[in-house]
Amino acid sequence: MKKQKITTFVKELNLRMNSKKEPISLRYIHILGTVVFFSSVSSLVILLAFYLNQRLQTSLFLVEDYHTLSSNPLTSPSLSPPPSPSPRSSGSNIADEELMWRAAMAPRSPMKNETHPKVAFMFLTRWNLPLSPLWEMFFKGHEGFYSIYVHTSPEFTQEPPESSVFYKKRIPSKAVEWGKCSMMDAEKRLISHALLEPSNARFVLLSETCIPLFNFTTIYTYLTRSTRSFLGSFDDPRPMGRGRYTPKMLPHVSLSDWRKGNQWFEISRRVAAEIVSDRRYYAVFKDHCRPPCYIDEHYLPTLVNKICPEMNSNRTVTWVDWSRGGSHPARFVRKDIRVGFLDRIRFGSNCSYEGEVTNVCFLFGRKFHVSTLEPLMKIAPYLFGI
């Protein structure tokens, strides 16, 4: 029965085709059109699948491209995406990875509104700030023009009195070892917290042994009017310079890239953002910069030399005395504090500032022992013009 039905159907189909007398050329056109139609549909499906795949990859690895917000294409972020920001997280209580991701996404230029740009004073210290009375005098009357961030040893939990400018200014901290990567991690932690404040325009790294050499207005004006950062970065041909480089850093860091500089820097917001955005070069230094290579002396000078040398003056504004030799600078005690000594630091050098030669090259000094506090407080009216 089925065979008879099929035979009948085939005969009817032949009769219909013969009755239409359709030209062979027209049939070819129909066939060609059908092929073209299905080919187009297939191509469209393939393109759509490719597009969806690309969008999926972009969403999964978005963090790899956040550094393109920067004008400099050489900084490279982490290969893994950061954790999603928690709604309950705040700038003072978040993990390092999320903190630096947020900081890297912060505006690269200071907020432009009715407020003044601020200078972020970032103190990297082990315990308390023994010279804080001098800094209290320095900051007095200039509220709204500065921000303060303090990184201490995590075991230190003491708070200064509520009347102090340092009250509640400690950031979540971790243990720091001299000459180790933890030192650089602490610096990046401070920079990241400071970047979360949009009005911070300049960033100064200081220690508990640093003192201001001029009054607040002079230092504020000097920094905020500068178009460049103040981070020491120079090619040192000696064993303590180039001798610390290892070819294992190739191809990312070559010997011609290698620089050395003072750990205590002052940088613009743009350079600060470049520093916290970097993952590529920091990973190279963490893997290969081991004693006698000290990451705090080479990483930032080399990084800035590679990615934004035009933004840097290649000098520091923090005076340190290395004339006595050794692995640590000279430390000053009570008997060293004299007006003549401080004035030699303040006016005894020549440097370039915004294209002009000046004898005001250093705004801060270090390394001052706690015993210097009393004589410094007596000289402070002279230093600050009070």
Q: How far apart are CA 118 and CA 7, in angstroms?
A: 93
**Based on the structure, what is the number of domains in the chain?**
1
Tokens 């706690």 locate to 370
The pLDDT profile of the chain, 386 residues, written as one tens digit per residue, is 544 554 554 455 454 444 444 454 555 555 555 655 656 656 665 555 554 444 443 333 333 333 333 333 333 333 334 444 433 334 444 588 899 999 999 988 876 665 789 999 999 999 999 999 999 999 999 999 999 999 999 999 899 999 999 999 999 999 999 889 999 999 999 999 999 999 999 999 999 999 999 999 999 999 999 999 999 999 999 999 999 999 999 999 999 999 999 999 999 999 999 999 999 999 999 999 999 999 999 999 999 999 999 999 999 999 999 888 777 889 999 999 999 999 999 999 999 999 999 999 999 999 999 999 999 999 999 999 98
Q: How far apart are CA 119 and CA 115, in angstroms?
A: 12
Classify residue 46: in a domain, yes or no: no
Classify residue 371: in a domain, yes or no: no
Q: Which of 365, 333, 338 is nearest to 211 (CA)?
A: 365
pLDDT of residue 88: 34
Q: How far apart are CA 250 and CA 309, in angstroms?
A: 20
CB 205 within 8 A of CB 176: no
Classify residue 23: in a domain, yes or no: no
- How big is the chain, counted in residues? 386
What torsion do the CA atoms of 214, 219, 221, 224 make, to the nearest 10 degrees? 170
Classify residue 206: in a domain, yes or no: yes
Classify residue 38: in a domain, yes or no: no
CB 257 within 8 A of CB 233: no
Q: Which of 344, 292, 316 is nearest to 210 (CA)?
A: 316
pLDDT of residue 79: 32
Classify residue 339: in a domain, yes or no: no
Amino acid at 91: G
Classify residue 58: in a domain, yes or no: no
> Which residues are registered as beta bridge partners of 358?
351
CATH number (domain holding residue 231): 3.90.550
Classify residue 267: in a domain, yes or no: yes
Residue range(s) defining the domain that contains residue 154 = 92-315
